[in-house]
Structure 1
Amino acid sequence: MRLRHALTAVLGAALLLTAIPGSAAAASGQFRYSYVTVDGDEASGFLNNPPSDRCINLHGVGQDNPQPGHSPKNRTDTWATVFTGTNCQGDSFRLRPLTGGASERLKVRSVVFG
């Protein structure tokens, strides 16, 4: 009898573990963008292996910098959606995995992968 109860407990635990979603996956690769600093200098920003399904405000182009970023390049293995505003608001544009990119005409302040 004890063996049967132990087996039932193990099978129940295994079912619970498969029902619990895993941690958020990360996109593999690098996302790059260019921007002008508040001092007027050209700079590059990048995200290495960014988390998926989470909005990321891009460094250097937040609300304290009047100039947005530009020329995004998606070199990750996941679709990237860039936004004109912070907190993934405003107009958006999708960049394909590995080769997606846009010119300096595309202005960006945040991105989400997935």
Structure 2
Amino acid sequence: MRTRTVFLAVASAVALCFTIPATASAAEGEFTYRYYDEDEEIQVGTLVDPPSGECIEIPEIADWDVDAFRPRNDTDSTAVVFLDDDCSSDSYYSLRPHGGRGSDRLLLRSVIFS
């Protein structure tokens, strides 16, 4: 009888672990960048509290053959910027949390936060 009770308690605890949704982590703060719009004017884009561990394609330039530039990382996580759309290129650069930035020459199309 005791073995069955212990087994039931353990099985219930395991089942409960699988039913509780995982909390999504996010980098808190803002990540900003510049890009040229259709009229070739410089615009500023911002990602606010972006999700961590997920590749984010820069939305304003997703359908264009242009790159964003001059990123600034004001989040609490490290940002790694990539020159391609899916965070898989060998060309990448890390920006430290709380103020890491790149110059106008640092081009990017996607970013991932740690």
TM over 0.5: yes
2:101 and 2:64 mapped to 1: Cα distance? Answer: 23
What do the CA deviations read for 1:66-98 (whole angstroms, capped 9, x no partner)?
Answer: 320000011111111100111113211111111
SS of match in other structure, 1:87: coil
Shift of 1:8: 5.0
- Which TM-score applies when normalising by structure 1? 0.82
Aligned residues: 110
The answer for the alignment partner of 1:43 in structure 2 is: 43
SS of 2:31's partner is: strand
What is the TM-score of this pair, normalised by structure 2? 0.82
**Inter-partner Cα distance in structure 1 for 2:95 and 2:8:** 47
Show the counterpart of 2:33: 33
Tell me how far apart the structure 2 counterparts of residues 99 and 52 of structure 1 sit (CA, whole Å): 17
Q: Give unmatched runs, 5+ long, in structure 1.
A: none
The Cα shift of 1:24 comes to 3.3
Q: Conserved in 2, the CA contact under 8 Å of 1:38 and 1:65?
A: no
Q: What amino acid is the match of 1:76?
A: T
* Runs of 4+ with >2 A deviation: 7-16, 20-24, 64-67
In the alignment, does 2:107 pair up with 1:107? yes
Bigger shift: residues 23-32 or 67-76 = 23-32
Q: What SS does the corresponding residue of 2:12 show, helix, strand or coil?
A: helix
2:24 is matched with 24
Unaligned runs of 5+ in 2: none
Percent identity, please.
37
